[in-house]
Amino acid sequence: MLKIIACFKWVIDEQDIRVDQKSRELIMERVGYKISDYDRNAIEEAVRQQEAHGGSVVAVTVGPPGARQSLKDALSRGPERAWFISDPSFAALEPSQTAAILAEAIKTKGEFDLIICGEGSSDLYAQQVGPALAQRLGIPCATYVNKVTLEPGEKKLTAERKLDDGIETVSIQLPALITVLPDINTPRIPSLKQVLGAAKKPVEEIKKSDLGQDFQPRLETISILGATMERRRLKYSAEAADIKAVVDALLKEGVIA
């Protein structure tokens, strides 16, 4: 039976972040959280493969206790259970820590055939966790996958990787890991029934002490500053006189000739 693990991250919705124009500090007061965009595709792909071939899907996340809110959302998208790898110290993990923690947790849980991760998270977008996890588990991986075909009987998969220079099709023996691109599928919108059903699905908690390690960061943040932009922010209407004023201004700027 096919065993699939879908990894996801609970992230700040970047659209809610405001920047103090003077201090360049990030204003995080009213931020919402979401399942990282690409990870929705990862969960969706896991569930589609299970629907096609049978087997099971477990959704896995690493985070601080507050990330518990994510589990219902993740489970409403189809996986039948979740692992919640949590510790208060898991709040601002850098990618090498996340990969190390996931690797340890997956090792303690045992068997799997396929791990699916998003291409990158929508907060850090470091694009490291998938390949780093594969490396730590000693399994092959294919990154930037746009299409995947599983052949569970033969314990292998064929994946199309969308790269800068074209499409590369690869064949890999399972167990393996893939990272998926946003256009691999369109994530479903959970129905009310699925949302209610998600509350009843089992969540297994994995504590830091179960993993017997410290997971020190290898990359340290010195500062985070909001990106600011000097723009004039002049507004005009669609009236002919205004349009002419804009064209005159562009001519004066010397950007059209």
Partner 1 sequence: MAGIWIFAESREQTLELISAGTSLARQLDGAAVVTFATSRQLAEEYISCGAGEVLVLPPLAGGQPLEAYVPAIIEAVRGGDPDIFLISATQRGREIAARVAAALDTGLCSGCTALKLDKEKKQLIMERMLYGGAAVQTVVCSGRPQMATIPPRTFEPAAPQEGRQGKVTELAGVQPSPVKVVGRAPKAAEAVDITEAKVVVCAGRGFEKKEDLNLAQELAQVTGGAVGCTRPVAEELRWLPEDLYIGISGKKVKPGLYIGLGVAGQIQHVTGMRDSKVVLAVNRDENAPIFDAADYGIVGDLYDVVPKLIKELRIALNK
Show contacts of 24-29: CB within 8 Å, 24+ apart.
24/225, 24/226, 24/228, 25/225, 25/226, 26/224, 26/225, 26/226
List the one residue out of 165, 132, 162 whose CA is nearest residue 147.
162
Tell me the two tokens of residue 118.
Answer: 């998003």
Contact with ligand FAD (CB under 6 A) among 122, 127, 143, 185: 122
Output the smallest distance, CB 201 to ligand FAD, in A: 26
37 or 45: whose CB is closer to ligand FAD?
37
CB of 32 to ligand FAD, least distance (A): 14
| Least distance CB 231 / ligand FAD (angstroms) | 17
Query: Count of residues binding ligand FAD (CB under 6 A)?
Result: 2
Return d(Cα 112, Cα 106) in angstroms, integer: 9
110 versus 166: smaller Cβ distance to partner 1: 166
Among 52, 163, 196, 199, binds partner 1 (CB under 8 A): 163
Told to check if 189 binds partner 1 by CB under 8 A, we report no
Residue at shortest CB range from ligand FAD = 37
d(CA 53, CA 1): 9
242 touches which of ligand FAD, partner 1, none (CB within 5 to 8 A by kind)? partner 1
Rounded Cα distance between 253 and 239, Å, is 21
Site for partner 1 in 90-149 (CB under 8 A): 94-96, 99-100, 122-136, 140-144
CA–CA dist 185, 80 (Å, integer): 20
Check: CB of residue 44 under 8 Å from CB of residue 188: yes
Residues 11-40 that bind ligand FAD (CB under 6 A): 37
Name which of residues 72 to 101 contact ligand FAD (CB under 6 A). none
Question: Quick one: 192 or 229, whose CB is closer to partner 1?
Answer: 229
Nearer to partner 1, 22 or 235 (CB): 235
247 contacts partner 1 (rule: CB under 8 A): yes
Question: How far is it, in rounded angstroms, from Cα 9 to Cα 227?
Answer: 24
If one asks whether residue 223 binds partner 1 (CB under 8 A), the answer comes out as yes
φ, ψ at 159 (rounded to 5°)? -130, 140
What do you get for the CA distance between the two ends of the chain, in Å?
A: 66
Q: Which residues pair with 86 in a beta bridge?
A: 63, 207
Are the CB atoms for 49 and 39 separated by under 8 Å? no
Least distance to ligand FAD, CB of residue 9, Å: 12
> Which of ligand FAD, partner 1, none binds 171 (CB below 5-8 Å, type-dependent)?
partner 1
The residues that touch ligand FAD, with contacts defined as CB under 6 A, are 37, 122
